[in-house]
């Protein structure tokens, strides 16, 4: 079918960067070029941006066009659904789209969010790697909201590879399994290989999958797109600078404030869940709000602007205003769009989708910190009025101050009407008693480290209640592997400990607080504390806290830290980064803590993670980026203070307790925890001079995470694991653990790193696991487990 057409808002990008679209199926009668244009952004994972012409995000759009496209998509989803359904929409672009699909189905609706709401635990978290803001959380009032229905419908504006969808399904299927999954997207650009991977991934869950869209096809992306895109952006921005073009600051228009008569019991959207029974009350709230706005806007073009995730309410208000004008026999001249977190290059060219941009500070006290926000394609003089719709948490001083969003909109139109709707606040599920924080545990009563080495922020559980696996009944072969690694790399580890500790002191000062993520991070934290003590005479506090994959960091532990230390002095400590999943999980957990802790904190916690080794380049604070076997990776409790993995056991771990863990005193005869740290610390005098000589150059370098390791993980998953990244273990340390305790299928090894692969090859040979040689890996090796 036809590709680029004359007048298409993607020709500028297509001609300069070689991006091509080809429609293969148009069941709605609309081609891909009818539904999307193209723009460019600085994003190493996805430099191109598909700009929808029917979504109402980046482009001012007739609200009836937005609604019609969404209801058409809903009709397609309805034909694919089996049994009852529940609908999930993705923030921030698909919150209104998903709601309208749910309306078409008459189904309950929830959208993901990047906000943290006090009193609500996330039912599930997942990540969207290509997005500008990657972390998503689900905050339904009812924790079992997603458990209803035979079919879960996932709604997004586009499906490019399907990775985000598959990651979401896997995360949700563990807690809320469904027999059938339906993906509904405005456009579907998956390749045949992507389609096959998605189907196989869902089939492994013993579920079925259908994908529906308004148009599907292919997108051709040159390999050097990200680099060429960045160069193109640099060129455009440099030309603007040379031309000395300054944005026109017109006369400031009138600003009118309207507090919507919107019942607080009526949710403004689907952040906490929306059920069909609320539709009547919602319709009434929209009608009353639209009537209040109608009396404050003149005839002529009026634009309705929503804010980030708040898309559905502004869209419904825009539609109500358009209907009101049509009923009065007037041209409605109402358009709709919303602000966004996503930075995009603006180019004044009819063949480009983003023509103009305004940039303004965030105004909703975001949990992940302040940052710029954007609104696109709003032209000065194009509207008689702009109606800005915000919810209460976003109606802050920053919204109205000079340079803020309201100020900038008032330079574009003679009148700005700011409409504030209440943010639905769920009732607490049960009374929350005053929080009594528990006390830390210390050795030798708990753990085998010395009392001053570490304070354990865990609840002491009997050994039989721990989630220990056979890895702590270490075989002699495992201990021999540890001995060999310690002999080979003790000095290497000591150097990395010195370098990473000096970076922490440079960033946090001499009153830094070390908080290690147990268990792998704890011996590293002990060693860092010893370096600071022996080299600088500092007694740094060191705590060990639990972070459980999929559940996040112990919030009670962070509350304890906030009560006893300045969070700005805290540095989280890990062992090694592997795929980088721990860094992502930590970032989401810390964001949540900063928003929910009582605080009037002196300052927020930083999600920065310091690790001994960062071969995947996913953190900025590290001792080395070499990929070699760290001795502590060979063992479990017997090298981490005889403390088990942490657990959350509802029968034994209360809401105000630390996560639980057991002291495995029964394993004391095999304990090498002190031997490991003593052996490495004995090398400090040998490496101290080199650390100090190298430190200056290191501190002056650019260590920004590139996530190149994650790219390699995704590539390996696509080539060898049907796109399932959960089957991939990255780096020597995690590959060794897979070979010791897991079900390995294949090990990818880089022949150029042969010197660091001795243990991997030895274990692979013993278990008869095939090795496949792959050049130019960021890691020395990558392990693939059996599905």
DSSP one-letter code for 375 = E
Is residue 43 predicted with pLDDT exceeding 80? no
The residues, ordered by sequence, that sit 6+ positions from 401 with a Cβ below 8 Å of its Cβ are 407
Is residue 284 predicted with pLDDT exceeding 80? yes
Residue in this structure with the two tokens 């009138």, named with its chain if needed = 254
pLDDT at 599: 46
pLDDT band at 357 (very low <50, low <70, confident <90, very high): very high
Q: Which CATH number goes with the domain that contains 270?
A: 3.40.50
Domain termination residue (choose one: 243, 263, 278): 243
pLDDT at 42: 78
577 shares its domain with 555: yes
**Measured between alpha carbons, how far is 356 from 338 in angstroms, rounded to an integer?**
14
Average pLDDT in the 409-415 region? Answer: 96
Give the torsion sign (CA, 103, 106, 108, 112): negative
Average pLDDT in the 509-532 region? Answer: 94
Query: For residues 522 and 454, is the Cβ–Cβ distance under 8 A?
Result: yes
625 shares its domain with 751: no
Is residue 250 predicted with pLDDT exceeding 90? no
Tell me if 599 is assigned to some domain. Answer: yes
Cite the beta strand spans of 395-541 per DSSP E: 415-421, 455-456, 459-461, 513-518
Q: What are phi and psi of 776, to 5 degrees?
A: 65, 30
pLDDT at 469: 43
216 shares its domain with 268: no
341 shares its domain with 366: yes
3-state secondary structure of 533: helix
How many residues does the structure list for the chain? 787
Is residue 304 predicted with pLDDT exceeding 70? yes
For residue 159, give both structure tokens: 């499906």
Tell me if 3 is assigned to some domain. Answer: no
Q: Note down the domain range covering 129.
A: 11-243
**Measured between alpha carbons, how far is 646 from 659 in angstroms, rounded to an integer?**
6
pTM of the shown model: 0.67
pLDDT at 433: 42
632 shares its domain with 724: no
Structural domains in the chain (count): 4
pLDDT at 471: 43
pLDDT band at 707 (very low <50, low <70, confident <90, very high): confident
pLDDT at 468: 43
Residue 348: exposure state from Cβ atoms within 10 A (0-12, 13-18, ≥19):
exposed
Give tens-digit pLDDT for 452-499. Answer: 999 999 999 987 644 444 444 446 778 889 999 999 999 999 999 999
pLDDT band at 223 (very low <50, low <70, confident <90, very high): confident
Task: Tell me which of 251 and 432 has the higher pLDDT.
Answer: 251
Average pLDDT in the 8-25 region? Answer: 92
pLDDT at 465: 41
pLDDT at 148: 82
Give tens-digit pLDDT for 362-401. Answer: 998 765 667 899 999 999 999 999 999 999 999 999 999 9
Tell me if 585 is assigned to some domain. Answer: yes
DSSP one-letter code for 339 = -
Tell me if 512 is assigned to some domain. Answer: yes
Tell me if 426 is assigned to some domain. Answer: no
Neighbour count for residue 161 (Cβ, 10 Å):
20
Tell me if 767 is assigned to some domain. Answer: yes
pLDDT at 58: 96
692 shares its domain with 712: no
The residues, ordered by sequence, that sit 6+ positions from 607 with a Cβ below 8 Å of its Cβ are 572, 583, 586, 587, 589, 590, 591
Tell me if 619 is assigned to some domain. Answer: yes
What average pLDDT does the chain have?
88
Is residue 632 predicted with pLDDT exceeding 80? yes
329 shares its domain with 410: yes
Task: Tell me which of 187 and 595 has the higher pLDDT.
Answer: 187
529 shares its domain with 626: yes
402 shares its domain with 523: no
Average pLDDT in the 760-782 region? Answer: 92
Query: Which of the listed ranges 28-32, 382-386, 574-578 does the model predict with the highest average pLDDT?
Result: 382-386
Q: What is the CA radius of gyration of the chain?
A: 28
Is residue 520 predicted with pLDDT exceeding 70? yes
DSSP one-letter code for 661 = E
Is residue 134 predicted with pLDDT exceeding 60? no
Q: Which of 707, 783, 703 is nearest to 743 (CA)?
A: 783
Give tens-digit pLDDT for 638-697. Answer: 999 999 988 887 677 887 889 999 999 989 999 999 999 999 999 999 999 999 999 988
Give tens-digit pLDDT for 537-549. Answer: 999 999 999 998 7
Q: Which CATH number goes with the domain that contains 775?
A: 3.30.1330.30
pLDDT at 219: 92
541 shares its domain with 637: yes
534 shares its domain with 605: yes
Domain termination residue (choose one: 633, 665, 696): 696
pLDDT at 45: 66
Domain termination residue (choose one: 671, 696, 721): 696
């Amino acid at each position: 079918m036809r590709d680029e057409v004359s007048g298409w808002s993607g020709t500028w990008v297509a001609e300069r960067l070689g991006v091509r679209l080809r429609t293969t199926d148009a069941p709605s009668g609309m081609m891909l070029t009818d539904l999307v244009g193209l723009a460019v952004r600085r994003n190493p994972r996805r430099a191109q941006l598909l700009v929808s012409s029917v979504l109402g995000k980046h482009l001012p759009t007739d609200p009836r066009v937005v609604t019609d496209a969404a209801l058409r998509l809903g009709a397609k989803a309805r034909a694919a659904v089996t049994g009852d359904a529940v609908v999930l929409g993705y923030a921030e672009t698909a919150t209104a789209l998903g709601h309208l699909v749910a309306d078409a189905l008459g189904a309950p609706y929830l959208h993901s969010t990047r906000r943290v709401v006090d009193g609500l635990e996330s039912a599930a978290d997942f990540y969207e790697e290509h997005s500008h803001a990657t972390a998503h959380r689900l905050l339904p009032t009812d924790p079992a909201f997603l458990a209803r229905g035979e079919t879960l419908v996932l709604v997004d504006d586009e499906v490019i590879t399907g990775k985000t969808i598959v990651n979401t399904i896997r995360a949700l299927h563990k807690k809320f399994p469904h027999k059938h999954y339906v993906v509904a997207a405005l456009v579907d650009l998956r390749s045949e290989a992507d389609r096959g991977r998605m189907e196989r991934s869902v089939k492994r869950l013993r579920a079925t999958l259908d994908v529906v869209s308004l148009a599907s096809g292919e997108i051709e992306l040159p390999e050097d797109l990200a680099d060429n895109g960045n160069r193109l952006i640099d060129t455009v921005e440099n030309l603007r600078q040379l031309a000395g073009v300054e944005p026109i600051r017109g006369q400031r228009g009138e600003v009118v404030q309207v507090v919507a008569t919107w019942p607080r019991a009526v949710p403004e959207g689907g952040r906490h869940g929306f059920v069909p029974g609320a539709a009547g009350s919602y319709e009434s709230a929209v009608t009353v709000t639209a009537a209040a706005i109608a009396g404050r806007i003149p005839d002529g073009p009026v634009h309705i602007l929503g804010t980030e995730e708040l898309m559905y309410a502004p869209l419904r208000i825009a539609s109500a205003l358009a209907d009101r004008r049509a009923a009065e026999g007037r041209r409605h001249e109402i358009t709709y769009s919303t602000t966004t977190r996503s930075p995009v290059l603006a180019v004044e060219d009819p063949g480009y989708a983003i023509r103009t941009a305004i940039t303004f500070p965030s105004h909703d006290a975001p949990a992940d910190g302040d940052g710029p926000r954007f609104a696109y394609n709003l032209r000065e003089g194009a509207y008689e009025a702009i109606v800005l719709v915000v919810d209460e948490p976003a109606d802050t001083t920053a919204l109205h101050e000079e340079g803020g969003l309201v100020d900038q909109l008032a330079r574009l139109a003679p009148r700005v009407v700011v409409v504030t709707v209440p943010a639905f606040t769920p009732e607490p599920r049960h009374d929350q008693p005053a929080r009594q924080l528990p006390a830390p545990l210390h050795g030798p009563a708990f753990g085998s480290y010395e009392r001053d080495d570490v304070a354990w922020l865990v609840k002491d559980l009997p050994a039989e209640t721990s989630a220990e696996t056979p890895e702590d009944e270490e075989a002699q072969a495992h201990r021999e592997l540890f001995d060999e690694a310690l002999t080979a790399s003790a000095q290497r580890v000591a150097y990395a400990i010195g370098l990473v500790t000096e970076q922490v002191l440079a960033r946090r000062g001499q009153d830094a607080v070390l908080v290690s993520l147990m268990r792998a991070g704890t011996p590293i934290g002990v060693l860092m504390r010893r370096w600071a003590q022996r080299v600088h005479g500092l007694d740094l506090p060191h705590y060990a806290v639990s972070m459980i994959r999929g559940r996040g960091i112990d919030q009670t532990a962070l509350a304890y830290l906030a009560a006893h230390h300045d969070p700005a002095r805290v540095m989280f400590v890990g062992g090694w980064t592997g795929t980088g999943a721990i860094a992502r999980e930590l970032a989401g957990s810390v964001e949540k803590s900063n928003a929910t802790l009582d605080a009037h904190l002196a300052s927020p916690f930083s999600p920065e993670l310091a690790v001994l080794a960062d071969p995947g380049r996913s953190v900025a604070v590290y001792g080395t980026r070499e990929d070699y076997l760290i001795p502590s990776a060979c063992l479990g409790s017997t090298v981490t203070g005889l403390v088990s993995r942490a657990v959350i056991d509802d029968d034994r771990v209360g809401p105000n307790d630390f996560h639980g863990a057991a002291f495995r005193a029964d394993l004391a005869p095999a304990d090498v925890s002190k031997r490991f740290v003593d052996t490495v610390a004995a090398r400090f005098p040998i490496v101290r001079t080199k650390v100090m000589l190298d430190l200056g150059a290191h501190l002056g370098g650019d260590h920004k995470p590139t996530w190149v390791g994650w790219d390699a993980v995704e590539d390996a998953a696509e080539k060898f694991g049907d796109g399932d990244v959960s089957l991939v273990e990255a780096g020597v340390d995690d590959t060794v653990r897979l070979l010791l305790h897991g079900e390995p299928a294949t090990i990818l090894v880089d022949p150029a790193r042969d010197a660091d692969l001795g243990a991997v090859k030895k274990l692979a040979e013993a278990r008869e696991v095939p090795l496949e040689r792959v050049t130019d890996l960021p890691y020395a090796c990558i392990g693939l487990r059996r599905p």
